Amino acid sequence: MQDWMDELLADLPAEPMPQGLILRLQARLRRARRRELWVRRAGRLALAWAAGLGAVGLWSNLENLAGILPVPTLAAALDWLLQALASPLDVLMAMPASLVAWAGSQGTALTLAFALLAVSAFFGLASLLEDQTEQSEVVT
Amino acid sequence: MMRAGASEDDALLARARRGDEAAFEELVLRHTPRLFRLVGRMAGDDLEAEAVLQEAWLRAWQAMPRHQAGRPFFPWLARIALNVARDRWRKRAPLDFSDLGPRVEEVPDAEGLGPEPELERREALDRLARGVAELRPAYRAVIALRYEAEMSYAEMAEALGLPVNTVRTHLRRAKIELRRRLEERDAGLDG
């Protein structure tokens, strides 16, 4: 139910909108969009460089790769699978330690090459998933 | 007052999500006057209001993918602006809707407010504007949402993230508080 205060409140004096406000808002948004675009491009360039360095590192150690990459036998693979099914948490907890031990047994350059490739692949995949999620949100 | 239809806002948002910058700028053009009236009443200062609006539109653009198509755009935008205001004024003037007075059942009915005092309308408006400026930020916000942004109770509820009945109660409390301050001032002037 309206009263005298409703009527007055609806008619309160207010400061006029500052001149050029909308233009300033739009300009700031344009700057923010450009900044975000440059950050994305810089990020992707950095990833490409990391992947490239990793690939170069691997290539220069190609002849040493044989015997480095662990190729399990069928029996070992089945054994691992059974352990994973029986105690998934234990297997998961042991994986980082195994990875660190394996990396430690390799040369620094090779380890770095693998690390660069892994990091660039991880962030590249994350970026791809983020883009796909945004697109699916647009559709809904 | 004619406002941009919901379907027009949806169409602009859809285009903006696809990278159409002009579409988002059209939304800025359409909704900034109303948003400025809302924020301006809360901020009480043009520079601060502009700063809040800058940040609000920036956040709106970043959060655009999360806006559900079909939901009213302005209440969503108003909610962002309120969050910006709350973040900016956290220390100097906390904006908190969780503690606005006694329990709902204890609030007297707004019909208890008396008739307009015998004042020139302009003087009454000035006094009322000063009274609103002195209210706590949360009360100023509900008054600004209702009377400056001309939002319905449902829209206010969406902007505040509160049930409609709670919004009605908050507004009633705000008006009662405003009336109390005006009467106190009158009593002070009368000596």
Q: What is the largest CA-CA distance in chain A?
A: 90
Task: State the pLDDT at residue A106.
Answer: 65
Task: Report yes or no: A20 at the B interface, CB cutoff 8 Å.
Answer: no
Of A5, A18, A26, the CB nearest to B28: A26
Q: What is the domain range of residue A88?
A: 19-139
> What DSSP character marks residue B107?
S
Task: Report yes or no: A134 at the B interface, CB cutoff 8 Å.
Answer: yes
B97/A32: higher pLDDT: A32
Task: Report yes or no: B148 at the A interface, CB cutoff 8 Å.
Answer: yes
What is the distance in angstroms between the Cα of A49 and the nearest Cα belonging to chain B? 28
Task: State the pLDDT at residue B147.
Answer: 94
- pTM greater than the 0.90 cutoff: no
pLDDT band at B104 (very low <50, low <70, confident <90, very high): very low
Task: Report yes or no: B124 at the A interface, CB cutoff 8 Å.
Answer: yes
Asked if B156 contacts B167 with a C-beta cutoff of 8 angstroms, the reply is yes
Q: Is residue A3 part of a domain?
A: no
- Tens digits of residue pLDDT in B85-96: 999 887 776 777
pLDDT band at A87 (very low <50, low <70, confident <90, very high): confident
Q: What is the CATH number of the domain that holds B90?
A: 1.10.1740.10
Separation of alpha carbons A40 and A45, rounded Å:
9
Most A-contacting residue of B10, B12, B17 (CB-CB within 10 A), to test interface = B17
Helices A21-60, A108-139: crossing angle, 10 deg rounding: 140
Q: What is the domain range of residue B26?
A: 1-191
Task: State the pLDDT at residue B186.
Answer: 73
Most B-contacting residue of A7, A12, A28 (CB-CB within 10 A), to test interface = A12
Q: Would you call B1 helix, strand, or coil by DSSP?
A: coil
Phi and psi angles of residue B163, each rounded to the nearest 5 degrees, phi first: -65, 155
- pLDDT higher than 60, residue B113: no
Task: State the pLDDT at residue A130.
Answer: 66
Asked if B31 contacts B4 with a C-beta cutoff of 8 angstroms, the reply is yes
Tokens of residue B137, six digits: 């930020």
Q: Is residue A5 part of a domain?
A: no
Tokens of residue A134, six digits: 């945004």
Q: Contact B53/A11, CB-based, under 8 Å?
A: no
Count of the separate structural domains present in chain A: 1
Q: By mean pLDDT, which of A21-30, A64-73, A107-116, B15-24 is the weakest? A: A64-73
The number of angstroms, rounded, from the C-alpha of B57 to the middle of its chain's C-alpha atoms is 16
Q: Contact B66/A32, CB-based, under 8 Å?
A: no
Asked if B39 contacts B81 with a C-beta cutoff of 8 angstroms, the reply is yes
Phi and psi angles of residue B157, each rounded to the nearest 5 degrees, phi first: -60, -40
Task: State the pLDDT at residue A81.
Answer: 84
What is the distance in angstroms between the Cα of B92 and the nearest Cα belonging to chain A? 22
Q: Is residue A33 part of a domain?
A: yes
Q: By mean pLDDT, which of A69-73, A92-96, B22-26 is the weakest? A: A69-73
**Taking CB atoms and an 8 Å cut-off, how many pairs form between chains A and B?**
90
Which residues from chain B sit within 8 angstroms of residue A33, using beta carbons? 21, 61
Task: State the pLDDT at residue A64.
Answer: 63
The number of angstroms, rounded, from the C-alpha of A132 to the middle of its chain's C-alpha atoms is 13
Q: Contact A25/B178, CB-based, under 8 Å?
A: no
Rounded mean pLDDT, A38-62: 80
The neighbour count for residue A17, using CB atoms within 10 Å, is 18
Q: Contact A32/B61, CB-based, under 8 Å?
A: yes
Asked if B75 contacts B158 with a C-beta cutoff of 8 angstroms, the reply is yes
Count of the separate structural domains present in chain B: 1
Q: Residues 39 to 98 of B: which have CB under 8 A from any A CB?
A: 40-41, 46, 50, 53-54, 57-58, 61, 65-66, 68-69
Query: What's the mean per-residue pLDDT of chain B?
Result: 84
pLDDT band at B189 (very low <50, low <70, confident <90, very high): low
Separation of alpha carbons A13 and B126, rounded Å:
7
Task: Report yes or no: A31 at the B interface, CB cutoff 8 Å.
Answer: no
pLDDT band at B69 (very low <50, low <70, confident <90, very high): confident
Rounded mean pLDDT, B99-124: 57
Task: State the pLDDT at residue B1.
Answer: 41
User: Cβ contacts of residue B27 below 8 Å, gap of 6+?
Assistant: B9, B12, B13, B16, B73
- Tens digits of residue pLDDT in A6-46: 888 998 888 889 999 999 999 999 999 899 889 988 888 88
Strongest mean pLDDT among A64-73, A111-120, B176-185: B176-185
Q: Contact B132/A21, CB-based, under 8 Å?
A: no
Q: By mean pLDDT, which of A109-118, B44-53, B153-162, B172-181 is the weakest? A: A109-118
Opening angle at CA A13, ends A9 and A16, nearest 5 = 130
Tokens of residue B64, six digits: 């655009």
What is the distance in angstroms between the Cα of A50 and the nearest Cα belonging to chain B? 28
